[in-house]
Amino acid sequence: MSIPDSYLPPPSQQWGRWVTSTLRNYLGKREQYDIDTYNAIKQLNTSTYQPMRAVLWHQTSVVITITTAGEYVPINVAGTLDPTTTFNMEATGSPNATGFKNTTNQARTVMMFASYDGKCGNNNAMGLKLALNGTAIDATECQSFAGGSGQVGKTFTHWIMRMEPDDEVTMLCANIDTTDNLTIDRFKFIATAIP
Protein backbone atom coordinates (compact mmCIF):
# COMPACT_ATOMS: atom_id res chain seq x y z
CA MET A 1 0.00 0.00 0.00
CA SER A 2 1.39 3.40 -0.95
CA ILE A 3 0.75 6.63 0.93
CA PRO A 4 0.13 9.63 -1.36
CA ASP A 5 2.01 12.88 -0.75
CA SER A 6 -0.12 15.27 1.20
CA TYR A 7 -1.33 18.47 -0.41
CA LEU A 8 -2.28 20.42 2.65
CA PRO A 9 -2.41 24.20 3.00
CA PRO A 10 1.00 25.69 3.86
CA PRO A 11 0.40 26.01 7.63
CA SER A 12 -0.33 22.25 7.87
CA GLN A 13 2.34 20.91 5.51
CA GLN A 14 4.86 20.01 8.19
CA TRP A 15 2.23 18.06 10.12
CA GLY A 16 1.03 16.36 6.97
CA ARG A 17 4.59 15.41 6.00
CA TRP A 18 5.16 13.93 9.48
CA VAL A 19 1.93 11.89 9.29
CA THR A 20 2.77 10.71 5.77
CA SER A 21 6.36 9.80 6.73
CA THR A 22 5.24 7.99 9.88
CA LEU A 23 2.64 5.96 8.00
CA ARG A 24 5.20 5.03 5.33
CA ASN A 25 7.65 3.87 8.02
CA TYR A 26 4.93 1.91 9.81
CA LEU A 27 3.80 0.16 6.63
CA GLY A 28 7.41 -0.61 5.64
CA LYS A 29 8.07 -2.21 9.02
CA ARG A 30 4.79 -4.12 8.80
CA GLU A 31 5.71 -5.51 5.37
CA GLN A 32 9.15 -6.56 6.68
CA TYR A 33 7.47 -8.18 9.70
CA ASP A 34 5.13 -10.13 7.40
CA ILE A 35 8.08 -11.32 5.28
CA ASP A 36 10.08 -12.33 8.38
CA THR A 37 7.07 -14.16 9.84
CA TYR A 38 6.46 -16.03 6.58
CA ASN A 39 10.13 -17.07 6.35
CA ALA A 40 10.22 -18.17 10.00
CA ILE A 41 7.09 -20.33 9.58
CA LYS A 42 8.48 -21.82 6.37
CA GLN A 43 11.77 -22.66 8.10
CA LEU A 44 9.92 -24.18 11.05
CA ASN A 45 7.78 -26.35 8.77
CA THR A 46 10.89 -27.53 6.94
CA SER A 47 12.71 -28.48 10.12
CA THR A 48 9.76 -30.10 11.92
CA TYR A 49 10.07 -33.87 11.76
CA GLN A 50 7.26 -35.75 10.10
CA PRO A 51 5.85 -38.80 11.91
CA MET A 52 7.10 -42.09 10.50
CA ARG A 53 6.15 -45.64 11.47
CA ALA A 54 5.25 -49.00 9.96
CA VAL A 55 4.10 -52.52 10.80
CA LEU A 56 4.77 -55.43 8.42
CA TRP A 57 3.67 -58.99 9.18
CA HIS A 58 3.23 -62.42 7.58
CA GLN A 59 1.41 -65.36 9.15
CA THR A 60 1.71 -68.25 6.69
CA SER A 61 4.61 -70.68 6.35
CA VAL A 62 7.25 -70.05 3.67
CA VAL A 63 10.47 -71.88 2.79
CA ILE A 64 13.70 -69.94 2.25
CA THR A 65 16.29 -71.78 0.15
CA ILE A 66 19.65 -72.10 1.88
CA THR A 67 22.72 -72.99 -0.21
CA THR A 68 25.55 -72.10 2.18
CA ALA A 69 25.63 -72.61 5.94
CA GLY A 70 26.01 -69.36 7.84
CA GLU A 71 25.32 -67.16 4.82
CA TYR A 72 22.60 -64.54 5.26
CA VAL A 73 20.06 -64.27 2.46
CA PRO A 74 17.05 -62.00 1.89
CA ILE A 75 13.80 -63.37 3.25
CA ASN A 76 12.12 -61.68 0.25
CA VAL A 77 8.55 -62.52 1.25
CA ALA A 78 5.98 -59.77 0.82
CA GLY A 79 4.19 -59.19 4.09
CA THR A 80 1.04 -57.29 4.96
CA LEU A 81 1.65 -53.60 5.62
CA ASP A 82 -0.81 -52.43 8.28
CA PRO A 83 -2.60 -49.45 6.67
CA THR A 84 -4.02 -48.12 9.93
CA THR A 85 -0.60 -47.84 11.57
CA THR A 86 1.85 -47.18 8.74
CA PHE A 87 2.68 -43.55 7.91
CA ASN A 88 5.42 -42.09 5.69
CA MET A 89 6.87 -45.55 4.99
CA GLU A 90 6.11 -48.26 2.48
CA ALA A 91 6.99 -51.91 1.99
CA THR A 92 10.09 -52.66 -0.04
CA GLY A 93 10.11 -54.64 -3.29
CA SER A 94 12.59 -56.92 -5.04
CA PRO A 95 15.28 -58.04 -4.31
CA ASN A 96 14.00 -58.15 -0.70
CA ALA A 97 10.30 -57.51 -0.16
CA THR A 98 10.59 -58.01 3.61
CA GLY A 99 11.29 -54.48 4.76
CA PHE A 100 10.49 -50.77 4.86
CA LYS A 101 11.37 -47.72 2.79
CA ASN A 102 11.54 -44.11 4.02
CA THR A 103 9.15 -42.19 1.76
CA THR A 104 9.72 -38.77 3.36
CA ASN A 105 12.20 -36.12 2.25
CA GLN A 106 13.79 -36.16 5.71
CA ALA A 107 16.54 -38.21 7.32
CA ARG A 108 15.17 -39.83 10.46
CA THR A 109 16.45 -41.93 13.33
CA VAL A 110 14.29 -45.06 13.45
CA MET A 111 13.88 -47.83 16.02
CA MET A 112 13.42 -51.29 14.46
CA PHE A 113 12.05 -54.53 15.94
CA ALA A 114 12.14 -57.67 13.78
CA SER A 115 11.40 -61.33 14.55
CA TYR A 116 10.51 -64.59 12.87
CA ASP A 117 9.42 -68.04 14.05
CA GLY A 118 11.21 -70.75 12.11
CA LYS A 119 13.09 -74.03 11.91
CA CYS A 120 15.99 -75.29 9.82
CA GLY A 121 16.65 -78.88 10.85
CA ASN A 122 17.02 -80.49 14.25
CA ASN A 123 19.09 -78.47 16.72
CA ASN A 124 20.40 -76.14 14.02
CA ALA A 125 20.85 -72.46 14.78
CA MET A 126 19.05 -69.92 12.65
CA GLY A 127 20.03 -66.27 12.33
CA LEU A 128 18.44 -62.91 11.70
CA LYS A 129 20.08 -59.65 10.59
CA LEU A 130 18.83 -56.32 9.32
CA ALA A 131 20.21 -54.79 6.13
CA LEU A 132 20.40 -51.14 5.06
CA ASN A 133 19.96 -50.76 1.30
CA GLY A 134 20.93 -54.41 0.84
CA THR A 135 24.07 -54.31 2.99
CA ALA A 136 23.90 -56.48 6.11
CA ILE A 137 24.35 -54.75 9.46
CA ASP A 138 26.46 -57.28 11.35
CA ALA A 139 25.76 -55.67 14.73
CA THR A 140 22.08 -56.62 14.39
CA GLU A 141 22.77 -60.36 14.20
CA CYS A 142 20.78 -62.60 16.56
CA GLN A 143 20.57 -66.41 16.62
CA SER A 144 18.30 -69.03 18.14
CA PHE A 145 17.81 -72.79 17.97
CA ALA A 146 14.98 -74.82 16.59
CA GLY A 147 14.05 -77.87 18.66
CA GLY A 148 15.39 -81.39 18.23
CA SER A 149 12.00 -82.67 17.02
CA GLY A 150 11.40 -79.90 14.50
CA GLN A 151 9.88 -77.44 16.95
CA VAL A 152 9.82 -73.82 15.87
CA GLY A 153 12.20 -71.36 17.50
CA LYS A 154 11.96 -67.56 17.65
CA THR A 155 14.71 -65.23 16.45
CA PHE A 156 14.46 -61.55 17.39
CA THR A 157 16.56 -58.45 16.80
CA HIS A 158 16.19 -54.74 17.42
CA TRP A 159 18.22 -51.71 16.40
CA ILE A 160 18.24 -47.93 16.05
CA MET A 161 19.50 -46.48 12.77
CA ARG A 162 19.42 -43.37 10.65
CA MET A 163 17.36 -43.62 7.48
CA GLU A 164 17.93 -41.08 4.74
CA PRO A 165 15.14 -40.39 2.21
CA ASP A 166 14.48 -43.52 0.09
CA ASP A 167 16.61 -45.74 2.35
CA GLU A 168 15.39 -49.32 2.79
CA VAL A 169 15.79 -51.57 5.81
CA THR A 170 15.11 -55.27 5.22
CA MET A 171 15.32 -58.64 7.01
CA LEU A 172 17.94 -61.32 6.26
CA CYS A 173 17.97 -64.91 7.53
CA ALA A 174 20.43 -67.81 7.69
CA ASN A 175 20.83 -71.43 8.69
CA ILE A 176 24.00 -71.09 10.74
CA ASP A 177 24.93 -74.79 10.87
CA THR A 178 23.84 -76.61 7.70
CA THR A 179 22.33 -76.14 4.25
CA ASP A 180 18.87 -77.31 5.33
CA ASN A 181 16.24 -74.91 4.03
CA LEU A 182 14.77 -72.49 6.54
CA THR A 183 11.02 -72.64 7.12
CA ILE A 184 9.56 -69.40 8.48
CA ASP A 185 6.11 -69.81 9.97
CA ARG A 186 5.58 -66.09 10.60
CA PHE A 187 7.45 -62.81 10.85
CA LYS A 188 6.86 -59.35 12.24
CA PHE A 189 8.72 -56.13 11.53
CA ILE A 190 7.99 -52.85 13.31
CA ALA A 191 9.59 -49.44 12.77
CA THR A 192 9.00 -46.14 14.52
CA ALA A 193 10.86 -42.86 14.13
CA ILE A 194 12.31 -41.24 17.23
CA PRO A 195 11.32 -37.55 17.53
Q: Which residue has the higher pLDDT, 27 or 143?
A: 143
3-class secondary-structure state, position 78: coil
What residues are paired with 102 via a beta bridge?
A: 89
Beta-strand relationship, 80-81 and 53-58: antiparallel
- Is the pLDDT at 139 greater than 90? The verdict is yes
What are the boundaries of each domain within the chain?
10-47, 53-193
- Average pLDDT value over all residues in the chain: 89
CA angle 182, 185, 186 (to 5 degrees): 115
Domain 53-193 - what CATH class?
Answer: mainly beta
Strand ranges (E), 92-195: 99-102, 108-119, 125-132, 135-145, 153-163, 168-175, 182-193
Q: Which of 132, 125, 127 is nearest to 159 (CA)?
A: 132
Residues 149-158: tens digit of each pLDDT: 778 999 999 9
- Is the pLDDT at 134 greater than 60? The verdict is yes
Residue 137's Cβ-count burial label (10 Å; 0-12, 13-18, 19+) is middle
Residues 79-133: tens digit of each pLDDT: 999 999 999 999 999 999 999 999 998 899 999 999 999 999 888 999 999 999 9
Residue 64's Cβ-count burial label (10 Å; 0-12, 13-18, 19+) is buried
The reported pLDDT for the residue numbered 122 is: 85
Residues 25-55: tens digit of each pLDDT: 878 888 888 888 777 776 666 566 778 999 9
pLDDT cut 90: percent of the chain above it: 67
